[in-house]
Amino acid sequence: MQVNDGEYEFTVDGGETLLQAALAAPVPWPHRCRQGGCGSCLCRVTSGTVCYPRMAPMLTVPEQQEGWCYACLATPTSDLTIEIG
C-alpha cells in the first residue's frame, strides 16, 4: 500500500484494517475512535479497492465512488494508493 505519492509504503496483513497496518508501519495516520464514529481516519483511495468486513462506513454511494474511505474499517482487496491529509 502506498500513501501520499510514495511518502509511505507498507503491507497490510490479512484481516488488518488500513489503519492498523499504517500505525504498525508506523505512519502518523490521523485517528481517534478506531470504530467508524469520528471520521478522523478518512482518506481517499486513488487506486485500488477496499471492503468493509465488520461494519459499513457512514459514506454515501457518491462519496465511496469518489474514493473516500474509513481506514479504521476498511481492508484492502487489491494493491492500494491512498491520500491522507
Residue 46, SS3? strand
Unique residue bearing C-alpha cell 495516520: 29
Q: Is 16 left (phi over 0), alpha (psi -120 to 50) or beta?
A: beta
Binding of residue 25 to ligand FES (CB under 6 A)? no
> Among residues 31 and 81, whose Cβ is nearest to ligand FES?
31
The residue within the footprint of ligand FES, chosen from 7, 28, 32, 54 (CB under 6 A), is 32
The end-to-end CA distance of the chain, in Å, is: 16
> Among residues 6 and 58, whose Cβ is nearest to ligand FES?
58
The footprint of ligand FES (CB under 6 A) covers 31-34, 36-41, 70, 72
